[in-house]
Structure 1
Amino acid sequence: MVDSPQTQAMAEPAADRYQSLLQASAERLEGLRSRDARFAMIRLALFGAAVAVLAVTYFGHLGTPGWIVGFGLLGGFLVAAILNEPIRDAMAEQAQANKVTERLLARTRRDWDALDWKTTRAKLKTVELEEHQKDVADDLDLLGKSSLFQFVSMVGTTIGVRTLANWLTGVADASVASGRSAAVRRLAPRREERFRFYSLAAHVGEGTGDPDEFIRWSQRDSWLEKNRWLPVWANTSAVAATVSVLVLIASRIGVVPTSVAQIALAVAIGLVVINAVITTVMLGPVHQIFSIAMASRQSVDAYRELFSAAEWLEGEADGRSKGHSPGDRLGHLHHVLLDDPEQSARLGMHALARVASLGSLRSSASTFLLYLPLQALALWDIRVLQKLEAWQKTYSESVPRWFDAFGELEALMSLAAVYDENPDWVFPDWTDAGADELQSAVFRSVGLGHPLLPNDSRVCNDVTVGPAGTVLLVTGSNMSGKSTMLRSVGLNVALAGAGAPVCATALSLPSTELATSIRVRDNLAEGVSFYMAELHRLKGVVDRARAMASNKGCVSLFLLDEILQGTNSRERQIAVTQVLRHLIECGAIGAISTHDLELADEPELQAVSEIVHFRETITPDASGNEQMTFDYQMHSGVSPTTNALRLLEIVGLGSSD
């Protein structure tokens, strides 16, 4: 049994912990830079000395001792370069870790400007949502800048972004969410392992080997199938080069005549020229494939380590069937990434690592001098591509499954950070419809707060929405907190559905689909007025409720903010009542907000509503000027106050009398 983060010793808040990590990381990075600077001086000195000695030997005819010293210095330069390479890698890794820590810190502080929005926006463009999901995401700030996604996300790859975005905007299904929550509980205590996971995922997500590109390559036709002569030429070139070298060696010891050696040298030079032209003119697509399939050996090793993180779920997956029921995501992830005896991601990446070790000769500074003659005389890249395409043929059908599972694992890692950083948040209790579906369709919370607000400015309320046949009618003045409360409900449903803890002291809810009309815009280009745009949005809300009415295991939860403002008060009362009548007939539950107090007087609406309100307090300051304050606390009954005219006066637009 793994202790939850709440039961561990957590004396310092997450922000303080991340700040300490940043400081320690900066010190480590400074030490690595000092070592790198020393190696740079040593390399420069050795290379300069080697060039000087070789030049003096050549022009001064120093003979064999000079050549030995010169090439010895050059060898020392190569050794220094090889020893320096791990330091450079460590510096890059530490810099990546710093970026991850800064991102974690910015999230906990809700410092939206410090989060990288440009890269995230580009990846979010690949997310495909239905129209009603787009409306809900826009209304509740589920995606986009300063959104729930930005707060939750620690994903680094495009496929991780899509997975997490789809979880946050999808139906909050009790069975699926419970399975995810089990994984989140398992992953949350593994702080150091998660931190490395975030760094590795960010590394592969920023490179050319992002999962989307890797998947597309894995499904493409073989490049060598269209260029079959190249492997034949590569073999011919290798044989001819080998013979030429042997002839030149034999000539040096007097076994072969000089004329034959000259022919062998000409052949070798010809091979180098031909292969250089082939490399330059034809192998651009091959190098592009290398940059995607195995950007570097480190990238392949990173994927191996990322996939192996599924081992942390082993305790939860034990005893589960390999059949992949919707709620059994842990067993599914473990099977696809680790357990499949023939096509697991771990097995496939282990095989790809062997190919990448051959391809890394080209990309590594320490082995590039070995790569040059191999490529010039035997087209080494073609031989690597043959092995890579053999790997592609073996595993192409499994690659999409691997990365779908990896996207889930990456999303779970993000949710685990939310759980670890917010020990006072709770996982929701899911209620079944049971025999009495109408009475069980209730969203009931204690201490519900807006998760995107900082802890020191968040005000929490006890909010109940439902059961079916009832409506929560939220009245109150402008700026008093009505819209924030509606969004608090929606955002916490989204968190619950994703499998994350919620910003509340307690929360119970059934499987839920959200439908909203909060942030409606007109469209002048299409001749759609604000009122007509809002009607279309409300029609969509009702349509979703009707669609969910046939799904006995899931309830539609609607959130409507200041609806139908574009008409007079009396017609508005009638229209709102008609819209709610349709929603109630579908068995939907929900809340609406209004500052139109006459709406609360509508008899039919009163009969089905639980009416609450938010209010303001107006007090004079030291100069006698009125100051308006809000406590953002929800109270029973209709709002006793309005503030529109007072606000006019405060901003200097009051009566001139």
Structure 2
Amino acid sequence: MTNVLAGVPLALTKLASASDHNAAKDRYQALLGDIDQQVAQLESKDSLLGKVRVALVLAAIVFWVASLGENGVTGAGWIGSVLFALFYVAAGINEPVRDSMKQLRRNSSVIGRLIARLDRDWDRLATLRLTSQLAEVELTDHRRDTASDLDLLGKASLFHLTSMTATMPGVRTLASWLAGPAIEATAKARSEAIDALAPLRDQRIRFYTLARQVAESTGDPDHFVDWATGETWLSKRGWLKAWSRMSLWLSIGFIAMIVAGVMLMGSPAMTRIGFGGVLAIIVINIIITTVFLGPAHQIFSIAMANRRFVDDFIELFSAADWLPKNDSSGSQEGMIAKLRRVLFDDSQTSAVVGMRDLGRVARAGSLRQSAATFLLYLPLQALTLWDVRVLNRLEQWQLKFGSETKAWFEALGELESLMSLAALKDDYPSWTRPTWVADPEQAVIRSNSIGHPLLADADRVINDVTIGPPGTLLLVTGSNMSGKSTMLRSVGLNVALAGCGAPVCADQFELASTELATSIRVSDDVSQGVSFYMAELNRLKSVVDHAREMAAMNDRVCLFLLDEILQGTNSRERQIAVVRVLDHLVQSKAIGAITTHDLELADEPAMQSAATTVHFRETIRPDAEGNEQMTFDYKMRQGVSPTTNALRLLEMVGLGEES
């Protein structure tokens, strides 16, 4: 195996990847420059308007003072009032300026993340918010182990390289795509949508910014869906609705008696009855509010956490309006068309229609949340149980749209994920679209110039790697630190990218529908009394069981990636055990690669008949002072490794044999 594809040297392949990086970064830096210029102009305008506002207030005060007393200047008070009114006008003009500045700074933050992805700035990418959201993503134990082994979801991970998601549905969807299987039909549908979204740079940046704003300022969509799809609370308490209606009419009647008694008939008795009736209704409604309506207020905090919650999601769902009518293949039945229907197009059940309807209810419910309207809310609640009336409207909305809400937020999660992967597609045009092997019986992973996508372009070394077909495996030998584990992860990460519909870090990448099974990072568990060796066995049992499940499904292949397995036992027993594990996997029609330091493993008869053996090596040369220096080129070569370096590394760190 070589590191040359169709006569193109490794250096030129690296150059193409570096060119991708530079072109994308230059584009984003230019956008940041434009934003900085616009912000500077707005800051100057904001400063001027601020000075005008201060001057108007001070001038208004001066004129008001001048109007005081017997010798006050005639008309000075009116001039002061006019100046104060002009202050409010200036404030009204200033507010949009500040809103624009906030929006531009949000755009700047989004572009900063896009640049951080290019630079592999993991500290900037792995924010506390995203880390917390990822911790809430539910995966099976098998997929969680694979994600850990391959760096799919951790700090310096494929998730952070690909993700521009901000809402919990988006984070959950992209994480599940990355950790899920690579299925041909699903991946192709995603890829067509990504291809259509990649050129829409301005729209994507607006979407990223809005999604981030929504995620930071609104309630929890998961709690909202749980409420919308759950049971109604008020429908089981009909007496509250009945009393709400009755208290409205009684309040009108008693208030009419007060008005009649005071203004029309002059009857003290009628006035007293009216006041007594109103007071009784207020007392009853205060008791009901205090004792019974706690759950209703909890529902308000979920269904309409605030007016901004509803308005934000209306705006975010409305972003689907500018989605293309079809995907890149021209199909009107692809993912984009389906997302448009769920989020925007369907006039009866779309997310935008439902949220706009909820917005009307939220306006009524927001009376209690705003200081400006709270004084209006108090008499409405005291006399008519306003909260019950709002809750009744909420539950009518819940019955109409509740069953649709899960699909809305799932569609939002898919759209956010596609938008994220579209940025990867746009930023790395030299990465390739994978091709698919339809027949699982001929399953193979065949790649030319495959690289580790998490490494910076300048650090990435590429190789040609072939794994499969079923009945065979790739045995990777080599020295410590020579690149064996990195090669395994390169394959696994690119399979994950392919399954998402994203471009892969290779010049050519061919695969069948695939599910990953790995044993790379294994640790003991003292709390469970599990030794390292037993932990390895449990992980390998999971890998073998998964391979058997895939063989039974017969529509996909299991790709196993095993790194230095069964280190917790002696050398000869380890060789026998490894051969047995691999035999189980080969018999299950799985394909895969295993790394090892045991060069004798390649001599096992079972390995000679099933394995293609390759190796990585080190080079040791003396420096100018005669000291040995070990270097690695991370290039994969045919055959068993001719070198080992464990004792040399021991000496290099100062733990060699004492003379």
TM-score (structure 1 length as normaliser):
0.85
* Residues 218 and 306 in structure 2, CA contact (< 8 A), matched pair in contact too: no
Structure 2 counterpart SS, 1:598: helix
Partner of 1:538: 540
- What displacement does 1:619 show? 1.1
Q: Contact 1:471/1:591 (CA < 8 Å) preserved in 2?
A: yes
Which residue does 1:452 correspond to in 2?
454
Match of 1:145 among 135, 138, 155: 155
Amino acid in structure 1 at the alignment position of 2:496? A
Pairing 1:194-273 to 2, within 5 Å after superposition: 194-219=204-229, 228=241, 232=245, 235=248
User: Post-superposition shift, 1:595?
Assistant: 1.6
Aligned partner of 2:127 among 117, 121, 124? 117
Q: Secondary structure at the match of 1:315?
A: coil
Superposed displacement of residue 69, structure 1: 5.2
SS in 2 for 1:28: helix
Listed one character per residue, the Cα deviations across residues 556-578 of structure 1 (whole Å, up to 9, x for unaligned) are 00000001112222111111111
Q: Distance in 2 between matches of 1:153 and 1:245?
A: 64
Contact 2:326–2:336, Cα closer than 8 Å, also in 1: no
Partners of 1:219 and 1:463 in 2: how far apart? Answer: 48
Greater mean alpha carbon deviation, residues 208-217 or residues 152-161: 208-217
Aligned-pair CA distance for 1:340: 2.6
Task: Give the Cα–Cα distance (whole angstroms) in 1 for the partners of residues 434 and 318 of structure 2.
Answer: 29
CA distance 1:199–1:648, shift in 2 (3 Å): same
The 1:215–1:479 alpha-carbon spacing in structure 2 relative to 1, beyond 3 Å, is same
Question: Given that residues 326 and 332 in structure 2 are in contact (C-alpha distance below 8 angstroms), is that contact kept between their aligned partners in structure 1?
Answer: no
Structure 2 SS opposite 1:582: helix
Q: Tell me which of 315, 336, 341 is aligned to 2:326.
A: 315
The 1:220–1:470 alpha-carbon spacing in structure 2 relative to 1, beyond 3 Å, is closer
Question: Which of 179, 187, 203 is the equivalent residue of 1:169?
Answer: 179
| CA 288–525 in structure 1, closer or farther in 2 if over 3 Å, else same | closer
User: Hey, what does 1:615 align to over in structure 2?
Assistant: 617
Alignment partner of 1:512 out of 511, 514, 527: 514
Structure 1 Cα separation of the partners of residues 91 and 366 of structure 2? 16
In 2, the alpha carbon distance for the partners of 1:571 and 1:399 equals 56
Q: 1:100 aligns with which of 103, 106, 110?
A: 110
Contact 2:195 2:328 (C-alpha < 8 Å) held by counterparts: no
SS of match in other structure, 1:179: helix
What is the match of residue 332 of structure 1?
A: 338
* Structure 1 position 404 matched with structure 2 position 410: yes
**Cα shift at 1:194:** 0.3
**Are the structure 2 counterparts of residues 242 and 423 from structure 1 closer, same or farther at C-alpha, using a change threshold of 3 Å?**
farther
Per-residue deviation, residues 157-205 of structure 1 (Å, max 9, x unmatched): 0111111111011111100010000000000000010001001111111
Q: Quick one: which of 191, 195, 208 aligns to 1:185?
A: 195
Number of residue pairs the alignment of both structures matches: 632
- Return closer, same or farther for 1:546/1:595 CA change in 2, 3 Å cut-off: same
From 418, 429, 443, the counterpart of 2:424: 418
Partners of 2:21 and 2:457 within 8 A in 1: no
Distance 1:134 1:400 in 2: 24
Aligned-partner Cα distance in 1 for 2:135–2:326 = 36
8 Å Cα contact 1:117/1:145 also seen in 2: no
2:10 equivalent in structure 1:
none
1:82 aligns with 2:88: no
Query: 1:230/1:417 Cα in 2 relative to 1: closer, same or farther (>3 Å)?
Result: farther
Query: Do structure 1's residue 477 and structure 2's residue 479 form an aligned pair?
Result: yes
> Quick check: 2:616–2:634 contact (8 Å CA) kept in 1?
yes
Name the CA shift for 1:543/1:520 in 2 (closer, same or farther; >3 Å). Answer: same
Query: Which residue does the alignment assign to 1:553?
Result: 555
| Partner Cα distance (2:328, 2:247) in 1 | 48
Distance 2:118 2:77 in 1: 62
Please give the alpha-carbon distance, in whole angstroms, between the structure 2 residues aligned to 1:246 and 1:196: 56
* Alpha-carbon spacing, 1:502–1:292, altered in 2? closer, same or farther (3 Å): same
Q: Do the aligned residues in 2 keep the contact of 1:47 with 1:73 (CA within 8 Å)?
A: yes
Deviates more, 1:483-492 or 1:68-77: 68-77
2:455 partner SS: coil
Partners of 1:69 and 1:245 lie apart in 2 by 44
Q: Which residue of structure 1 aligns with residue 45 of structure 2?
A: 35
State the Cα deviation string for residues 345-388 of structure 1 (Å, max 9, x = none): 13223334445566678888xxx75x355435545877766655
Assess, with a 3 A threshold, how the Cα gap between structure 1 residues 317 and 489 changes in structure 2: closer, same or farther: closer
Q: Which moved more, 1:385-394 or 1:424-433?
A: 385-394
1:3 aligns with none
Please name the residue that 2:34 is paired with: 24
Contact 1:471 1:590 (C-alpha < 8 Å) held by counterparts: yes
Give the unaligned 5+ runs of structure 1: 1-5, 323-327
CA apart distance, 1:77: 4.1
Match of residue 432 from structure 1 = 438
For 2:652, the aligned partner's letter is I
For the 8 Å contact 2:325–2:332, the answer to whether it is kept is no
* Structure 2 Cα separation of the partners of residues 55 and 229 of structure 1: 57
How many percent identity over aligned positions? 52
Aligned residue identity for 1:339 = D
Q: Alpha-carbon deviations, 1:540-595, whole Å to 9, x = none?
A: 11000111111221000000000111222211111111111110100000000012
User: By how many angstroms is 1:132 displaced?
Assistant: 0.8
Pair 240,91 (structure 1): closer, same or farther in 2 beyond 3 Å: farther
Following superposition, the deviation at residue 391 of structure 1 comes to 3.2
Q: Which residue of structure 1 aligns with residue 13 of structure 2?
A: none
Asked if 1:606 corresponds to 2:616, the answer is no
Cα distance change on mapping 1:67 and 1:116 into 2, 3 Å? farther
Determine the structure 2 residue equivalent to 1:593.
Answer: 595
The offset of 1:236, in angstroms, is 6.4
Q: Secondary structure at the match of 2:547?
A: helix
> Could you tell me how far apart the structure 2 residues matched to 1:358 and 1:518 are?
56
23 and 502 in structure 1: CA distance in 2 versus 1, 3 angstrom threshold: same
Cα deviations across residues 223-270 of structure 1 (Å, max 9, x unaligned)?
Answer: 6666547854995699699989999xx99xxx999x99x99xx99x99
* SS of residue paired to 1:13: helix
Deviation at 1:63, TM superposition (A): 12
CA contact under 8 A between 2:28 and 2:111: conserved in structure 1?
yes
Report the Cα distance in structure 2 between the residues aligned to 1:276 and 1:374, rounded to whole angstroms: 16
Point out where structure 2 has 5 or more consecutive residues left out of the alignment: 1-15
- Superposition deviation, residue 521 in structure 1: 0.3
Distance 1:412 1:16, change over 3 A: same
**Higher mean displacement: 515-524 or 50-59:** 50-59
Pairing of 1:350-365 with structure 2 (within 5 A): 350-355=356-361
